[in-house]
Chains A and B, each alone.
Chain A
């Protein structure tokens, strides 16, 4: 009986190809929009997550300056004391639960090799930096402790710097000029790619902190201290310990605000992820409104269909169709129609999302759950919006219906 009805409804859809197509269009566009939005959205979320894990996972970053409002940038306040090596030393001596602690100072500096030049992010740091940032070397070696202490002119370069100066060649042992000082390349960093904010993470030069301070910055300040938590310690537990130690060394009594800010990269990652998820949800909801409009289109066309086929309904009722047979017939027709629209919409939506993810270089992340939901939802729309017209058909008086021209 149901199969019979589905066959019947497919036939009546085929009979009116153009009209059925126009009816479907609303559902197609609605479902396509929802699917595209949600798929692109979850791709973006994945991209953001990946970007943030590139910054280093379970990472705390300490900078000088009063912490700004929650979630805001910890802006550097000129009046405050910068971080110093004794702060790092105190952390190394007293902090438990950290896998790596590393100071770092950064500056955009002109780097020259031969006749080529490039403005690069130059970071002065120590050998723990690679560990703290989860960064590996493709070749060469990190700074030795003696190089770090002495501030020897050695450096590690990122992939972009290598390509600019050496192409595919081996940069090890070459001397580059950073600002006005020369520096021997001892290793090549593993490529990290761009961040979601369009920053090239491979356009970098790392050198020992003392070398950077003496020859480039001209001061003994430290911009950031990177602290990577070990596997057993959540960053939320580590953060107060860091604060206690720094308050102690920097002599800040508990009643005063600290003059440094500790940023938890994990929390930032969570915040960004939840921001993109919220965004995705909102876009999906907006797209969902068009689904509703599509549903109204279905209702419209089903009402026309019931009116058009009043006589047919009369015949069916006269020869013994039960009210529910007529109801089911039109419900099935509406459902088949909107399901068809849903399936076409899913295909179009996924294609759009695929194209968009190529264009935006985000991962293509189709979710089976979203697809199933779209199928179910479009079927539901057919049933809900098909119900009223179907009921109208089923309630027709067979005598009137037979008289209908």
Chain B
């Protein structure tokens, strides 16, 4: 495990509310994730795993402590700088797919490229490549309503990887899918991790989904309760 550090949490706190009602979603979390790792974050609801994921994805900032992303103190950046970080380095996959309902698959995949200012023709080409990578050739002109759940999630993955991000953040990516579709999507993520060296941080509460990852981090009450490498587990 000699790959450079991608993410470090240094005594990260995230608190909500004031005084008596103050709640600590994260209470001094230390965590490091290297490039090309595939990490599953688990934990019961309220354990802080979603908060951690939002911070990892540069959507949120810690209340205290330092969050570095690729060596940048991302927790201190303003929202527009974080938007830029997301656009350049992070891809998101959500449980509810979150595709634009009236846009075609190709248009959805092109969306992040629009905000990068990529020219229309190049956008189309990159979108087609990404759709091919997730096995959706021939579906580019379908709207989400015309696609199955698994196919919609593939579109969402294509949208996440079209910018060739360093990190893919997945929030319960298989939460809405049946077992067969879940397996397909997890295979796809594993392949992307192995073949492109794409770092993946995935939040899930299903153990069999987490098993696809190379490392499982369990959260409990705002702390990291356990951090297991699959290799160690096997050993």
Are both chains from one complex?
yes
Chain A interface residues (CB < 8 Å from chain B): 1, 4, 11, 15, 311-312, 314-325, 398-399, 402
B114 CB within 8 Å of chain A:
yes
Residues of chain B in range 46-95 having any CB-CB distance to chain A below 8 Å: 54, 57, 59-60, 79-80, 83-84, 86-88, 90-92, 94
A4 and B83 form a contact (CB under 8 A): no
- Inter-chain contacts of B111 with A (CB < 8 A): 315-316, 319
Cβ 8 A contact of A322, one of B84, B90, B120: B84
Nearest 4 interchain pairs by C-beta: A320-B87, A319-B112, A320-B86, A315-B98
Cβ 8 A contact of A15, one of B86, B102, B163: B102
CB distance from A74 to the nearest CB of B (A): 73
CB distance from B180 to the nearest CB of A (A): 27
- 28 cross-chain CB contacts under 8 A: A1-B117, A15-B102, A311-B98, A312-B100, A314-B98, A315-B98, A315-B100, A316-B111, A318-B57, A318-B86, A319-B86, A319-B111, A319-B115, A319-B159, A320-B84, A320-B90, A320-B163, A321-B87, A321-B115, A322-B80, A322-B83, A323-B79, A323-B80, A323-B83, A324-B80, A399-B59, A402-B94, A402-B98
B116 CB within 8 Å of chain A:
yes
A398 to B171, CA, bound (A): 14
Q: Can you name 10 extra interface pairs (CB under 8 A) apart from A318-B92, A322-B83?
A: A4-B120, A11-B102, A311-B98, A314-B98, A315-B99, A319-B91, A320-B112, A320-B163, A322-B84, A399-B60
CB distance from B213 to the nearest CB of A (A): 22
Query: Most B CB atoms within 10 A — which of A4, A318, A325, A398?
Result: A318
Query: Most A CB atoms within 10 A — which of B80, B88, B100, B114?
Result: B114
- Inter-chain contacts of A315 with B (CB < 8 A): 98-100, 111
Judged by DSSP, the binding face of A is helix
Cβ 8 A contact of B116, one of A11, A317, A320: A320
A312 to B103, CA, bound (A): 11
* Chain A minimum-CB-distance residue to B50: A399
A311 to B101, CA, bound (A): 11
A322 to B83, CA, bound (A): 6
Q: What sequence of 0s and 1s flags, for each residue 169-201 of chain B, a beta carbon within 8 Å of any chain A beta carbon?
A: 000000000000000000000000000000000
A402 to B186, CA, bound (A): 23
B80 and A1 form a contact (CB under 8 A): no
CB distance from B92 to the nearest CB of A (A): 5
A195 to B36, CA, bound (A): 90
A82 to B112, CA, bound (A): 91
- Inter-chain contacts of B54 with A (CB < 8 A): 399
- Inter-chain contacts of A402 with B (CB < 8 A): 94, 98
CB distance from A375 to the nearest CB of B (A): 28
A321 and B83 form a contact (CB under 8 A): yes
* Chain B minimum-CB-distance residue to A314: B98
- Inter-chain contacts of B59 with A (CB < 8 A): 318, 398-399
CB-based A-B contact count at 8 angstroms: 59
* Chain B minimum-CB-distance residue to A321: B115
A275 to B90, CA, bound (A): 67
Q: Say whether, besides A399-B54, A399-B60, A320 and B115 are in contact (CB < 8 Å).
A: yes
- Inter-chain contacts of B112 with A (CB < 8 A): 319-320
Query: Most A CB atoms within 10 A — which of B90, B100, B116?
Result: B100
Cβ 8 A contact of A319, one of B60, B80, B92, B120: B92
Q: What sequence of 0s and 1s flags, for each residue 102-118 of chain B, a beta carbon within 8 Å of any chain A beta carbon?
A: 10000000011011110
* Chain B minimum-CB-distance residue to A315: B98
* Chain B minimum-CB-distance residue to A15: B102
A394 to B40, CA, bound (A): 32
Q: Say whether, besides A1-B117, A399-B54, A320 and B98 are in contact (CB < 8 Å).
A: no
CB distance from A213 to the nearest CB of B (A): 88
A320 and B60 form a contact (CB under 8 A): no
B114 and A1 form a contact (CB under 8 A): yes
A97 to B86, CA, bound (A): 84
CB distance from A68 to the nearest CB of B (A): 72
- Inter-chain contacts of B83 with A (CB < 8 A): 317, 320-323
- Inter-chain contacts of B98 with A (CB < 8 A): 311, 314-315, 318, 402
B114 and A4 form a contact (CB under 8 A): yes
- Inter-chain contacts of A1 with B (CB < 8 A): 114, 117
* Chain A minimum-CB-distance residue to B85: A320
- Inter-chain contacts of B84 with A (CB < 8 A): 320, 322
- Inter-chain contacts of A325 with B (CB < 8 A): 115
* Chain B minimum-CB-distance residue to A325: B115
- Inter-chain contacts of B102 with A (CB < 8 A): 11, 15
- Inter-chain contacts of A324 with B (CB < 8 A): 80
- Inter-chain contacts of B117 with A (CB < 8 A): 1
A320 and B88 form a contact (CB under 8 A): yes
Query: Most A CB atoms within 10 A — which of B90, B100, B115, B120?
Result: B115
- Inter-chain contacts of A323 with B (CB < 8 A): 79-80, 83
Query: Most B CB atoms within 10 A — which of A4, A11, A324?
Result: A4
CB distance from B130 to the nearest CB of A (A): 13
* Chain B minimum-CB-distance residue to A320: B87
A314 to B94, CA, bound (A): 12
* Chain A minimum-CB-distance residue to B116: A320
A311 to B54, CA, bound (A): 16
- Inter-chain contacts of B91 with A (CB < 8 A): 319
- Inter-chain contacts of A318 with B (CB < 8 A): 57, 59, 86, 92, 98
* Chain B minimum-CB-distance residue to A395: B79
- Inter-chain contacts of B99 with A (CB < 8 A): 315
- Inter-chain contacts of A4 with B (CB < 8 A): 114, 120
A323 to B83, CA, bound (A): 8
Query: Most A CB atoms within 10 A — which of B83, B86, B88, B120?
Result: B83
